[in-house]
Amino acid sequence: MFYVGIVGSRNGADYKWFKKQVKSQLREWDIPLEDITIVSGGAPGIDSLAEQFAKEKDVPIIIFPANWDKYKLAAGPIRNTKIVNKITHLIAFPDPIKSIGTYGTIRKAKTKPNILVKIIKIIR
């Protein structure tokens, strides 16, 4: 089983384009859909597209929502650390203008030698 983190901009992207990118990356890694669990953060944007993809493809998904009430500004980084600690692969969709949390997740994932990371920039 592979745990594929899908994270990115809260501004999201076109779902058809997003789906094509995810499927293409899974093929590049030679990972069939039936062997994955998607891991995401439950935020608007790319995270919600990951949820839609999981539902459409009948793929299990684990969501680590940020607890903003409890952790305030630390909630995002705490959630992102939980994601990185669970995944074997990361597909990240940062926005070229603002994606602080996405880039933080990428940095954390790159410190783990066992996590493969793919960055797909959203073109606006």
Question: Between residues 13 and 27, which one has the greater pLDDT?
Answer: 27
C-beta separation of 1 from 35 below 8 A: yes
pLDDT band for 97, please (50, 70, 90 cuts): confident
12: left (phi over 0), alpha (psi -120 to 50) or beta: left
* Exposed / middle / buried, residue 53 (Cβ in 10 Å: 0-12, 13-18, 19+): buried
At 36 the pLDDT is 98
Average pLDDT over every residue of 1-5 = 98
Tokens of 106: 């990428």
Asked if the model's pLDDT at residue 67 lies above 70, the reply is: yes
Fill in the DSSP letter of residue 11: T
Tell me the one-letter amino acid at 71.
Y
Task: Return the pLDDT at 124.
Answer: 63
Residue 33, both tokens: 């859909």
Residue identified by tokens 């089983």 is 1
Q: Considering the chain, what is the average pLDDT of its residues?
A: 96
For residue 11, the model assigns a pLDDT of 86
